[in-house]
Structure 1
Amino acid sequence: MRYGILGTTQAHSGDGRPTGVGGPRLRALLAALALHPGRTRTAQALIDAVWDDEPPADAAGALQALVGRLRRALGPDAVVSVDGGYRLCAEPDDVDLHRFQRLADEGAAALAAGAPERAEALLGEALALWRGPVLADLPGRSAMAGRYEARHLDA
C-alpha cells in the first residue's frame, strides 16, 4: 500500500489503484498513523490527533471502532494492535510525505555536490508528490504542518 498525506489523505494498492478510505475521522486516523509509519502510536496520541480538543465520551471505544473500519478499508494487516496503541504496517517510503523528505534531502545534497541536473530531477519528483495542504485531514494540523510546508518552499 501507498499512503498520501500531502493533501487529502489517500491510500493506493500496490498496483496504484485508489482504496476508499472513508469519512473525515477515518482519514484523520490514517493520516495520524501514516505520519509515523511502522511506529507505534499510543491510543491517547491517536485520540488527540483524530478528535483534537473534542474527543467523544468513550474515546477509546470510538478509536477501536475506527481502527476496525480502517482495517476493513485497507486490509486486516494494514494496522496492527500493539500494547497500548496501534501501528501502520508501512515503511517511510510508502508515505508521500516521507518520500518527499527523502527526495528533497537527496536533491539538496546533489545541488551542494555540484550536480544541478540531478538536483532538479530529484526536487521535481519531490514537488510532484504535493497535492494540497499537508495533513489536510488532521483537525489540529496547523502546529505540525508549518514545518513541512516550510520544507516544501525550500524544495
Structure 2
Amino acid sequence: MSVADRGSGTRAHRPEREGRRLALSAIFEADFGQRTAARALERRLEEEGTGPDAARHARDLVDAVGRHRVAIDARIEAAAPAWPVVQLARIDRALLRSAMGELLHCPTTPARVAISEWVELARTYSGEPARRLLNGVLGRVEAAEQGADAPDRHHRKEPR
C-alpha cells in the first residue's frame, strides 16, 4: 500500500469515497439555489476529470437525494426532532441528506459502510457535533429499517 492509500481504505472503495465527496459538494452547492445538484455535479465532474466509477456513484447519490428529498427530510426530522432540517447548517443538511440517500436508496452499499463513510465525511467537513448527529440519525434510521418487515437491501447480509 502506498502512502497515498493509507487511511483511505482499500483501493476498491476509493471511487465510492470520491463519489460521496462529489455528491456532497453538489448537494451543498444546490442548497444555495443557483443550480440543481445534478448540474453542479456535472460541472464538477467535468472540471475534475473524475473516473467512471466515482462519477456513477456520485450521480446515483445526487439522483437519490433529488428524487426522495422530501421523504429523506421527514426521516431526518423523525430521527432527530430536536434538529429541524431547515435549521441545520447547510453543510450538515447536505451531509445528512446525502448519507440518507445512500443508506436508503443505494442498495449496493452495505449499511455499515455507508454509515461509517458519511460519519467520517461529517468529521472532515463539519466537525464533531455533526459527526455525532449523523452517527445518531443514521444509526436510528438503520435500526428502524432492520426492524421493518420489508424484503429490501436493509435485510441483506454484509459482504464478507
Relative to the length of structure 1, the TM-score reads: 0.30
Which structure has more helix as a fraction of its residues? 2
When Rg is computed on C-alpha atoms for both structures, the one with the higher figure is 1
Q: Which has the higher contact order (CA 8 A, sep 6+)?
A: 1
Relative to the length of structure 2, the TM-score reads: 0.29
